[in-house]
Amino acid sequence: MAEQIKLLAFSGSLRADSLNKKLVKVAAAGAEAAGAEVTVLNLKDYPMPQYDDDWFAENGFPESVLTLKELCKASHGFLIASPEYNGSVTGALKNLIDWLSRAEPGEAPLACFKGKTAGIMATSPGGLGGLRGLRHLREILEGISVLVIPDQKAVPNAYQMFDDAGQLTDADQRASIEAIGARAATVASKLN
């Protein structure tokens, strides 16, 4: 029997009522429908300092990072909703990637990322939906040996797309985001 695919789903936003947190839950539902086990993370639950090599040399890994590293190493991939900040990814998301890319003693380089699969998406109140930031996120992830599926989606006009309960109300947009989750799960399954 094949091992059940495990994906981590999270947003690059720390904001409590983040539209991207709502979006990634839609992708998670699509991955679960495709048979994956999905753990939805809130990055705010894993506080970490800004990565600084001098601080790291003196203090080592924060406990929050070690916990996330274990979750990443046990997963087959990621679903990431990335807000666009000034045409790129958020500082919180980049900081997370920088911390997780550091190897523990005896750990293979990029153990949290190498050979993993990712589905990426964004939403924004603007007309491009966060599209410019996805280009940077794809480059970062591919640079650390993550296979980013070709499908990606930027959902524009986010304030009109989600209801008060946080549900994505546009059926076509919801289907597209669910499909990214399902595709990431399917590709990860084929690779594992």
pLDDT of 60 = 96
- The domains of the chain, with CATH numbers, are 6-191 (3.40.50.360)
pLDDT tens, residue by residue, 67-108: 999 999 999 999 999 999 999 999 999 999 999 999 999 999
DSSP 3-state of 6: strand
Q: Which amino acid is at 10?
A: F
pLDDT of 1 = 41
- CA–centroid distance for 96 within its chain: 10
Residue with tokens 């990335």: 82
DSSP 82-123: ---BTTB--HHHHHHHHHHTSPPTTPPTTTTTTT-EEEEEEE
pLDDT of 3 = 82
**pLDDT confidence of 134, banded at 50, 70, 90?**
very high
Q: Which amino acid is at 137?
A: L
Angle between helix axes 91-100 and 131-143 (nearest 10 degrees) is 10
- Please give the model's pTM, rounded to 2 decimal places: 0.96
**pLDDT confidence of 173, banded at 50, 70, 90?**
very high
**pLDDT confidence of 2, banded at 50, 70, 90?**
low
Residue 80 sits at the vertex; the CA angle it makes with 128 and 48, to the nearest 5 degrees, is: 115
Rounded to the nearest integer, the mean pLDDT of the chain is 96
pLDDT of 63 = 98
pLDDT of 171 = 96
Of all residues in the chain, what percent carry a pLDDT higher than 70?
Answer: 99
CA-CA distance, 41 to 176, in Å (whole number)? Answer: 21
Average pLDDT value for residue range 5-23: 97
